[in-house]
A and B are shown apart, each in its own frame.
Chain A
């Protein structure tokens, strides 16, 4: 019933807020909140400090940047005003392009205001400064994992298969990565493990979705839950009695010689572990592959209109198999990256990242570049949720930890509106 034709026929014009208006209104609200909570919420005389020198990088620092001291209230009010201005500009001029860039700018200002407010002097905080470099490094780490998950989604869904099992592939990758790293102390083999197990789960999903045409969302959710229970089972049955199999360590950083010494950006972009660089390569590769090569054109054709694709001789089922397995590989490596960031496996290690990655995929509109922006937004909220406690903000830990999930809900509901996925996404294909 959800063929492309009926879709265009049903999409009758409705009087409702356009997506850009929603974004504009949201930004105005966010700006007002920033000004109220963080600007007026801090005493007039308090100050906040940004520092820039990295605390724990593997390379030595040839430069030394001074701290930047800002008056908290004025800065937060300014940030709020800028966000409001951005929102008003969207509502007023209704710009066609770069909406997300504007919203991203607003989000950055919002995060900065939170940090300024949390670290203000004469506040509850013992720590009276924010190390901006550490914040960026810390926010990129979860973002990398999310990028893998969303890229996996891009590969699968561009070919028309919904992959909800990303959470399961993450968990399996993290489990096997941890196991292999504990035994061999070699992240290359760990990554291979992630590749194999991710591909395996991808193959099972493809098998159920393509050969037996099960409902893809159901198969994905059930498969993910199955892998998660299996992880919990193996944790009790294998890892608890043999703790030597869960004795891995975080992946070491690979420092790129000269570039790593650039202030602020160096530690963030050029002093990361291998999974970061691999993610960058994958983003470029998939972006190029999908939109600039014959392979990509075929994949997109299969995802948009499989019958048409089949009529020009493309093997729809085979394309989908290949892409779902490739997607599984990417998500499996993402699971290893998750372990490489945390350094130890535990049953709840994924904590919904696979599902957040799906939201990032939708937010990023099924494009690798959009996915990166979404992952950074979510990564930063994960970092803030985990680290604002150091500043003893007057909010309970549990409430803070809700932050990334609530951001996700806001993003899928407010920012995206009705999405347009690849037209045949999630619909089983039957050969005639």
Chain B
């Protein structure tokens, strides 16, 4: 196996009185698409911000390592981090409508980042910006480059955001809900674009989403998060069709799917009872209060992720009673 591009070990993010992400470990290899799925509040966006070292004021990384191309980003100073951000590690934010500066042309915004990280002349940067707009399939880039963001549709703006993100050829691109704010018809185009760029530029792609339909088609590996913990990890085929963790099962049962026999027309969608807030301060498994299979062992300790079959991890004590007993002992 190749050396992973990004390796996160035991990452814990702390607010003064809460731990929204706990002991999270995962890795992304070069050229690989890893999707993190979870509902709102599961800590997936905070994880992305932690990787960029852009956590909001009160939050901080309380423990863990973020090894990116062999260096631990947690130890980086802010000036050192500035050299990484936008250059080797880039991020696309959720809201394309508001993530572009309204008073600068899109060309100026692409040129800015090129000139900051690549030391290009103004003329060279502009030529490169036109190439980039072409790369993200903005029609008529020569004219579009001098447009202000409000002249562009949401999909176009997201393409421009992608152009800015990949301008300096990042090794890893983090896309935080890149399609949530877009029309369904545009979503597939944008994801196709990201997938193509990943292949052409050989970068890793960390896709953060709550949309399971996105996962099946575009991800190489899926990490399911619940209340700040990784509850299951595996290839999409396994996660979407043979999940082992009760939360993943519940999540799938609650999603309308087009596969035969599971359409919403065949019956009501099942909900997962309760809310994610009930995991606050939970002792053992964070999903226990809402779990249909909860057993006494679940209250004891946070369940470790167990390999249920090669390449498929799940963190549930019920799956492996012996493991749960070991954890107690």
Task: Say whether A and B bind each other.
Answer: no
A interface, CB within 8 angstroms of B: none
B interface, CB within 8 angstroms of A: none
